[in-house]
Structure 1
Amino acid sequence: MVFRDLWLLAGPVLIGVGAGTGQPMITGIGVVVLIVGAASRLWARYLFRRVSARAELSEARAFQGEQVELRFEVENRKLLPLPWFDLRLTISDEIEVDGETPAAASAPGLSWLTRRGALGWYERRRWRLRISASERGQFQIGPTQIQSADLLGIFPRFWDSPAMTPFIAYPRVFALDDLGFPADRPMGEAKGRNRVFEDPLRIAGVRDYEPGDPLRRIDWKATARHGELQSRVYEPSAVQHLYVLLNIDTLEHSWEGYLKDELERTVSIAASLAVWATGRRYA
């Protein structure tokens, strides 16, 4: 940068040499150098004023392998253009881009989506991509870095937008018959004596108090009207409860680590059961 600033010193030196030696050509060259250097310096100084970059997703959550749309843009809201730009949008390595291979980033676990071009005054550039996650987890999109310079490229500048967009990928789910479970009764025959429960949010009426009724069942307004303790009667609600308990140990000892493929398969089976139960109104 110090070498580039010598442009601003070379102009007055040439002007002085030309004036001292009586050489108008050298003086003219010094004036041109001074004007070009000062204009380039000012251009670079205000290059990224009112410049913005933004990235957004059509869906912030998706299942593993499911594609969503990534939209990102850069906008210049001033008269001074960007003669050229080199944009780098940082994404996690686990994010796959349809039809494009991201460039390797300097930080481990991250890649770059790169775009190049020029940005005129009050111009906006937009890009749309289809992305998906190769693994489950939470991943990042952003920050964004843009490099540009003045018209002659004398004073390059970098600008960073720290904004990040999180992307959450749920485990891959399958139909239960694909996993070998019976599609109609994957949990087997559901038999039991306590299938009907009372729903405390649905009051059917009141009745006389019976010994053993809890205090929260007593309806004090009805008690005041009747002059005797009255207990609420709730409508029945047939609710089936399903608990999905997952053992994530894939080896005999936890300190041995884990087998990634086995763990992901187990998580997918548990997620598939949870999705199936949700669709059948299990609690």
Structure 2
Amino acid sequence: MWLLLWLTLVMLLIGLWAAPNFWERRIYPRIRLEVRVSRDYADPGEELEIRIRVVNPTRLPCPKVRLDFVLPDELAVVGGNGERRVRLDTYLLARQSAELIVPAVAVRRGVARWNQAMLECMDLLGLQQSFLTVYPQMEVIVRPARLAPGAERRLLDGLMGEIRVRRFIQEDPSLFTGVRPYTSRDPLKNVSWFATARTGGLMVKQFGYTTDARIWLLLNGQMGKEQWAVAARDRLDRLCERVRQLAVQLAGEEAEVGFMTNLSDSLGGSTELLPAAGPVQPERLANRLGSLSRYTSCSQAELLQAAGRAKRPGDTVVLVTDYRDAESTRALSMLRQQGCPVHVIDLAPEGGNTRGGGAGEAGDGQSPGREEVMAYGG
């Protein structure tokens, strides 16, 4: 009898020692984490759902699983006052899964990546813990904030004035593209009586433009040493927001908008967007702006030179920057000498001097943070 009790006790101790090791070697490594996001692109303030699924594909149960992670800087938990920590405690039976839905909100521009997480697995008695590294591979691009229209009216009026003058001089008014419903602003001479009789509603003729209004938006990310030492992430966000605002306003004026920058793309994509018209183009541009990093691939002068090679006769260039130096000033002057209209939006912080340390280069005493229609130092 005592021998049987002793053998039972020994077998129990061996089981308590061997079972956690067996689970650690055979069960825990097969636990996997699956993550799905409701959208790939989001604007700041928009909500999205993150579905986290922990799966146990084995024939044995997993007594306790804990997932504790922090959302990327670009996201936050809805209603959490900026809280980004998410925690999941569950248990999994054989071939069972547990799902957690995290309502998140986009906070700031950038690529929200979640490439690695730690799963903590414990046995039923809590005697042994096992930490497992999983790779969810979640990625959401948060685009720049959509600024309210109306800013830079002076610059926009100047750009559209050039386009309207060019169209008035060179436009072919006989390019018929279709008909549309009549509005109170349409002249009666444009009414299509055949289309009106066919549809039963007053219809007017619609004419297209034979003169392209192509505008290149250039985003400069080059900084001076002083700027780089105190460079904040808000700087790049501010530049991207202004570029997106201009793209939306120009697209609303039926202009073809292109984009070029000297910043690197976090996803390894192209940093150039060929000019195109329509409401979809600003959205394409916003997607590109969302994945830009603060590291540059070339200088501002080289960016201007690339724009000079890409432009066609009649194109307009708009440079958005907060930095200037002697080399970029020369490149800007050469671009203007080629007959290309160039407008500069200087977003340098108030009271700051963004000029580089070139020989003979000094501040011009003008207040920064304004629109410029003249060359640097002009």
Q: Is this a same-fold pair by TM over 0.5?
A: yes
**Amino acid corresponding to residue 134 of structure 1 in structure 2:** V
Q: Which residue of 2 aligns with 1:45?
A: 25
Cα offsets for 1:44-87 (capped at 9, x unmatched)? 32222542211121111112222222111111122211111111
Aligned to 2:153: 181
Sort the Cα spacing of 1:260 and 1:55 in 2 relative to 1 into closer, same or farther, 3 A.
closer
Are 2:72 and 1:92 aligned?
yes
Aligned partner of 1:268: which letter?
E
- Range 251-260 or range 134-143, more displaced: 251-260
Partners in 2 of 1:262 and 1:35 — Cα distance? 60
Aligned to 1:208: none
Aligned to 1:230: none
Secondary structure of the structure 1 residue equivalent to 2:10: helix
Q: Name the CA distance, whole Å, in 2 between partners of 1:48 and 1:102.
A: 33
- What residue is the counterpart of 2:53 in the other structure? 73
Q: How does 1:113-152 map to 2 (within 5 A)?
A: 113-152=86-125
Runs of 4+ with deviation above 6 angstroms: 249-252
Quote how far apart the aligned CAs of 1:140 are.
1.0
Task: State the structure with bigger RCO (CA 8 A, min sep 6), 1 or 2.
Answer: 1
Letter in 2 for 1:181: R
Q: How many residues align?
A: 218
Q: Distance in 2 between matches of 1:274 and 1:27?
A: 80
Find the aligned partners of 1:181 and 1:187 in 2 and give their Cα distance. Answer: 10
How far apart are 1:144 and its partner, in Å?
Answer: 2.6
**1:263 & 1:24 partners in 2: Cα distance?**
75
Residue 277 (structure 1) aligned with residue 250 (structure 2): yes
Which residue is equivalent to 1:7? none
Secondary structure, counterpart of 1:42 in structure 2: helix
Structure 2: runs of 5+ lacking an equivalent: 173-207, 257-378
Pair 1:102–1:53, CA change in 2 (3 A): farther
Which residue matches 1:28?
A: 8
Asked whether the 8 Å contact 1:176–1:186 carries over to 2, the reply is no
The 1-side partners of 2:142 and 2:68 are apart by 23
Give 3-state SS (helix, strand or coil) of 1:152's partner.
Answer: coil
Q: C-alpha separation between the residues in 1 aligned to 2:45 and 2:248?
A: 17
**For residues 131-280 of structure 1, what are the structure 2 equivalents within 5 Å?**
131-177=104-150, 179=151, 181=153, 187-189=159-161, 190-193=163-166, 237-246=210-219, 254=227, 257-258=230-231, 261=234, 264-280=237-253
User: Is the contact between residue 250 and residue 259 of structure 1 (CA under 8 Å) also seen in structure 2?
Assistant: no
Q: Match of 1:91, as an amino acid?
A: L
Secondary structure at the counterpart of residue 68 of structure 1: strand
Report the secondary structure of 1:242's partner residue: strand
- Judged with a 3 Å threshold, the aligned counterparts in structure 2 of structure 1 residues 196 and 97 are, in CA distance, closer, same or farther, namely farther
Out of 36, 41, 56, the position equivalent to 1:56 is 36
| Cα deviations by residue, 1:134-179 (Å, 9 ceiling, x for unpaired) | 22111212323211122223332122212322221111012313x3
Greater mean deviation of Cα atoms: 126-135 or 242-251? 242-251
Identity of aligned residues (%): 21
Structure 1: state its 5+ residue gaps. 1-17, 104-110, 199-234
Q: Is the 8 A contact 1:69 1:130 kept in 2?
A: yes
